Amino acid sequence: MKWIDKLTKTRLRMFESSTGQSHVTEEDRFLFARPLAKHNLVIIGTGTIGQEHMRVAAMLGRARVHGIFDTQEHSLDSAEKNFKKHSSDPLVRYADLHTACNDPAADALMICTPNYTHFEVLKVAMASGKPIFLEKPMATDLHDAAAIVDLSASYSAFIQIGLQYRYKAQYVEAFHEALERRSLGDVKTISVSEHRPPFLDKVGQWNKFSRFSGGTLVEKCCHYFDLINLLAQGRPARVFASGGQAVNFVDFEKDGERSDIEDNAFVIVDYANGVRANFTLNMFCPDFDEEMIIVGDEGKLIAKENFNFQHQTESEISVEVLKGELGISKKSIVGYTRPVEQSGHHGSTYYEHIAFVDQLEGKVVDCATAMQGMWAMIVASAAQHSMADGQVVDVEEFIGSQGLANLLA
Three-state secondary structure string covering 303-363: EEEEECCCCCCCCEEEEEEECHHHCCCEEEECCCCHHHHCCCHHHHHHHHHHHHHHHHCCC
Nearest CA-CA partner of 279 in 294, 271, 287, 269: 269
- The reported pLDDT for the residue numbered 227 is 98
Nearest CA-CA partner of 176 in 3, 370, 338: 3
Count CA within 13 A, CB hemisphere, residue 353.
29
For residues 273-289, average pLDDT: 97
CB 43, CB 52: distance < 8 Å: no
* Per-domain boundaries in the chain: 13-113, 166-336+370-408
* pLDDT above 90 coverage of the chain, percent: 86
**In CATH, what is the architecture of 166-336+370-408?**
2-Layer Sandwich (3.30)
- The reported pLDDT for the residue numbered 3 is 43
- Helical (H) or strand (E) element with 96: none
Peptide bond before 137: cis, by omega within 30 degrees of 0?
yes
- The reported pLDDT for the residue numbered 220 is 94
* Own/partner pairs, 4-7, CB within 8 angstroms, 24+ separation: 4/167, 4/172, 4/351, 4/354, 5/354, 5/355, 5/358, 5/363, 5/365
- The reported pLDDT for the residue numbered 157 is 97
Give CA–CA dist 152/137, Å, rounded. 16
- Taking residue 78's Cβ as centre, other Cβ atoms within 10 Å add up to 15
Q: Mind listing the pLDDT tens digit for each residue in 63-114?
A: 999 999 999 999 999 999 999 999 999 999 999 999 999 999 999 999 999 9
For residues 221-237, average pLDDT: 98
**Residue 5 DSSP class:** P
Beta bridge partners of 304: 291, 318
Domain 13-113 has CATH 1.10.510.10: no
Task: Kindly indicate the confidence band of residue 8, based on its pLDDT and cuts at 50, 70 and 90.
Answer: low
Give CA–CA dist 248/200, Å, rounded. 11
Amino acid present at 5: D
pTM of the model: 0.93
Tell whether the model's pLDDT for residue 178 goes beyond 50: yes
- The reported pLDDT for the residue numbered 7 is 52
CA 336 remoteness from chain centre:
17
Instruction: Determine which of 17-26, 192-201, 299-308, 338-347 has the lowest per-residue pLDDT on average.
Output: 17-26
Tell whether the model's pLDDT for residue 1 goes beyond 70: no
CB 389, CB 176: distance < 8 Å: no
Nearest CA-CA partner of 72 in 100, 34, 45: 45
Q: Mind listing the pLDDT tens digit for each residue in 303-349?
A: 999 988 777 778 899 999 999 999 999 999 999 998 899 999 999 99
Tell whether the model's pLDDT for residue 36 goes beyond 90: no
Phi, psi of 6 (to 5 degrees): -70, 135
Task: Kindly indicate the confidence band of residue 406, based on its pLDDT and cuts at 50, 70 and 90.
Answer: confident
Give CA–CA dist 213/69, Å, rounded. 21
Count CA within 13 A, CB hemisphere, residue 55.
21
Instruction: Report helix angle 142-153 to 370-389, nearest 10.
Output: 170
Tell whether the model's pLDDT for residue 384 goes beyond 80: yes
For residues 14-39, average pLDDT: 79
pLDDT mean across residues, the chain: 94
Task: Kindly indicate the confidence band of residue 397, based on its pLDDT and cuts at 50, 70 and 90.
Answer: very high
CB 261, CB 245: distance < 8 Å: yes
Beta bridge partners of 290: 194, 305
Instruction: Report helix angle 348-360 to 48-60, nearest 10.
Output: 70
- Helical (H) or strand (E) element with 290: strand 288-296
By DSSP bridging, strand 393-394 and strand 316-322 are unpaired
For residues 122-146, average pLDDT: 97
**What value does the CA radius of gyration of the chain take, rounded to a whole number of Å?**
21
For residues 297-302, average pLDDT: 98
Residue 301, helix vs strand vs coil? strand
